Structure formats: structure tokens, C-alpha cells
Amino acid sequence: MQLLTPLAKKSTPPVRLFQSTLENAIDAVVIIDTENRITFYNKAAETLWGYRPEEVMGRNVKMLVPAQFQANHDSYLDQNRKTGQDKIVGSSRDLKLYRKDGTEVSVSLALSKMRIGNSWGYAAFVRNISSEYDSLNRLLDQVSLSADSVSISSGQMEEAASKVNDGATRQAAAAQQASASMEEITANIRQCADNAAQTEKIANNSLAQAESAANTVQEAVKAMGEIAAKIGIVQEIARQTDLLALNAAVEAARAGHNGKGFAIVAAEVRRLAERSKIAAEEIVALSRLTAETSSKAGKELSELVPEIQRTSDLVSEISAATQEQRIGSEQINSAISELDQIIQSNAAAAHEAAATTKNLIEGSEKLKSMIAGFRDADGNINRAAGDAIYSAA
């Protein structure tokens, strides 16, 4: 393993130091001359390719190049020497190499060139990065699995969020309908409460009027009794008048011709007394009938007053219950309104969640697309840029 033989013969200590440094470098170092022959091949290169130095020294470097690029490799280098257009030289690329035993190795290649007379030689610094690619491959596999898991979970979340969104939308519509119905019920209950309050006033007034009527009837019955008593006096006066008229008629008869005129007057008084007696008897009978009727009416009114009182109490209870229903319905209506607001908020949150999961799905798809960009059609890590080194050197 050595540099070009002429340099080796005339080597100075700095050159030997330089050669020793390259020989023991951790990266594989391969140097070729203007004829593309290998003039330097260090220990790391032997480890990397598996060829012994005597198998490669002085031979065309294309033997170390992947088979698909060997045929045109010399023309690539000659083109670079002629044009001087360095597309790859001076930079590094990742690519695949094949060892002597045919195993694949991932490497990072840095290519530089040096002036040799009127032409150019090239030095390749190659580092084995198979472990890095293995780690990257495992990482990509793990990230791909995670992306798939995120995509599946996001799809499930999107489906669940969509269902929640649909349910929340239906709940919102139902809550709005319930709120409208409850407002109508509340208005009806409020109207019933007002009607019950008016009915309670009417019932109380009716009770007061019934009690007053009962008292009036009782007073009328009492007055009829007094009238009957007074009519008795009138009857007694009519009887006494009739008796006096009879006595006056007897005395007129005794007086003869002189008492004839007085007899006529006594007869008229007696007829008036008879008529007064008959009228008094009729009044008594009528008063008795009126008293009986009034008494019966008073009894019925007395019996009716407790019923009216009971009706008034029931109406009061109905009015109180209706007021409580009104308050309760207003509270329910308020609660439904708050529930409607909450449902509307939930619907908006579900819609946002659906949009978020959709973005998450899109993000996972983009991530999988990015991961796919690291691999070729066979699923291997893509080194297309590195492979282009052989066609763009």
C-alpha cells in the first residue's frame, strides 16, 4: 500500500507523515492516477471492500464500483477531466457499494481531485455508514408504524367526532324545538295562572255575596215572623171591631127608628171588619208561606256557603299550584335555553374536533409520503442522489 512509486522514492518526512496518516485513517481512502489506476489503498479500504492490497493496486478503480456503473465509469472521469465541471467532486454523497463477497454496504463518499502533471487524479474518502442506515431504517419503520397508527386512530377519531357532531346537531335541533315548545307551555301556564287568580277573586266575591244573601234571607225570615205577629194584632182588632159592630147593631135595633142610621153604619163597619179579617188571614197565610220559603232558601244558602267556601279554597290551591307551575316552567325553560347553548357549544367543539382529526389524518399521510421518499420501490432506503455520482462526476 503506497502512493505513486516516484513519490515514494523521493518522499520526505512530511510526505511519509501524510502517507501514514492516510494509511491509518478511520475512513477508507482510495487514490487513483490519471489513468484511473489505484495507487493508494489503506487498511480501512481493505476492511470495507474485503480485497487485499495486492488484489487492487495498479488496477482500474472501476473494480470497486457497483457493476451497473463499471462499463461507463472511465468515460465519466474523462469527461470531468476535460470539462472541469465539478458536480460531485468536492461534496459527499451516500450510496451503496458491494464487497468482494457480494454483501451490500452503505457508505458516504467524498470525492476530491488533485493536479498530476497536465491531468487530474482523484481521491475517494469512503465511510461505512451501514449502522447509521440500519438505525435510520429502523427509525423509518417505527415512524411509519406510528404514522399508520396515527392515521388509523385519527380515522376512528374522525368517525367518532362526525357521529358526535351529527348527534350534537340533532340534539341542538331537538333542544331548540323543546325550548320553543316549553316557551309556549310557559305562556299557557302563565295564562292559566292569571285565569286562576281571576277565578279566585270571583270565587271569593261569590262567597262574600252568598254569605251576605244568607244573612239577608235570615233577616227576611225574621221580618216575616214580625209581620205575622203584627197581622195577628190586626186580626184581633178586626175581631174586636166586628164584635163592637154587632153590639152597635143590637143597640141600634133597640133604639128603633132613631137608631136606624146608626145601624146602617154599624153594618158597614162590620163588613169592613170582615174584609179586614179576611185580608189579614190572607196576609198571614202569605207571610207564613213566604217565611217558609225564605227559611228553606236560607237553609239552602247556609248549606251552599260551605261548598262555595270549599270551591274558593280549591280555586286558591289551584291558583297557588298554577303559580308554582309557572315558576317551574320558567326555570325549565331557562335550563333548556342553557342546555341549548351547551349543545351548540358541543356541536361547535365536535366540528372543530372533526376538522382537527382531518388535519391529523392529512398530516399523517404527508408524514407517510415523506417516509416513502426515503425508500425506493423495493422498500430500501433511497440513495438515488448518491448513485448519480457515477453519471455526474
pLDDT tens per residue across span 40-54:
999 999 999 999 999
Q: Tell me what the mean pLDDT of segment 26-37 comes to.
A: 94
Q: Tell me what the mean pLDDT of segment 349-374 comes to.
A: 75
Q: Tell me: the pLDDT tens digits for 232-252?
A: 787 778 778 777 777 777 777
Q: Tell me what the mean pLDDT of segment 137-154 comes to.
A: 80
More confident: 35 or 134: 35
pLDDT of residue 205: 79
Least confident of 143-147, 265-269, 317-321: 265-269
In which band, very low, low, confident or very high, does the pLDDT at 38 lie, cut at 50, 70 and 90?
very high
Highest mean pLDDT among 26-35, 70-79, 383-392: 26-35
Domain boundary assignment for the chain: 5-128, 156-373
pLDDT of residue 36: 94
Question: What is the CA angle 46-48-50, rounded to 5?
Answer: 55
Dig out the grid coordinates for 123 from the structure. Answer: 481521491
Domain 5-128 maps to which CATH number in 3.40.50.2300, 3.40.50.1950, 3.30.450.20, 3.40.47.10? 3.30.450.20
More confident: 46 or 329: 46
DSSP 155: H
In which band, very low, low, confident or very high, does the pLDDT at 95 lie, cut at 50, 70 and 90?
confident
* C-alpha span between 14 and 393 (Å, rounded): 31
Q: Is residue 7's pLDDT more than 50? A: no
CATH of the domain spanning 156-373: 1.10.287.950
- Nearest Cα neighbor of 69 from 30, 98, 35 is 98
What's the chain's average pLDDT? 79
pLDDT of residue 90: 79
The SS3 of residue 237 is helix
pLDDT of residue 4: 44
Give me the sheet containing 104-116, strands edge to edge: 38-41, 28-32, 119-128, 104-116, 92-98
Q: Is residue 372's pLDDT more than 70? A: no
**Phi–psi pair at 114, nearest 5 degrees:** -140, 145
Q: Tell me: the pLDDT tens digits for 286-308?
A: 777 777 787 777 777 677 778 77
**Pairing assessment for the beta strands 28-32 and 38-41 based on DSSP bridges:** antiparallel
Burial of 208-229, coded b for 16+ CB within 10 Å and e otherwise, reads: eebbeebeebbebbeebeebbe
Least confident of 93-97, 303-307, 331-335: 303-307
Percent of the chain topping pLDDT 70? 88
Instruction: Write the burial class of residue 326 (CB in 10 Å: 0-12 exposed, 13-18 middle, 19+ buried).
Output: buried
Distance from chain centroid for Cα 142: 36
pLDDT of residue 385: 45
Least confident of 55-64, 127-136, 266-275: 266-275
Q: Is residue 339's pLDDT more than 50? A: yes
Contact 170, 162 (CB under 8 A): no
Q: Tell me what the mean pLDDT of segment 376-393 comes to.
A: 54
Alpha-carbon distances of 390 from 64, 95, 323, rounded to whole Å: 12, 10, 95
Dig out the grid coordinates for 40 from the structure. Answer: 493508494
Q: Tell me: the pLDDT tens digits for 216-233?
A: 777 776 777 777 677 778
* C-alpha span between 182 and 186 (Å, rounded): 6
More confident: 100 or 295: 100
Percent of the chain topping pLDDT 90? 18
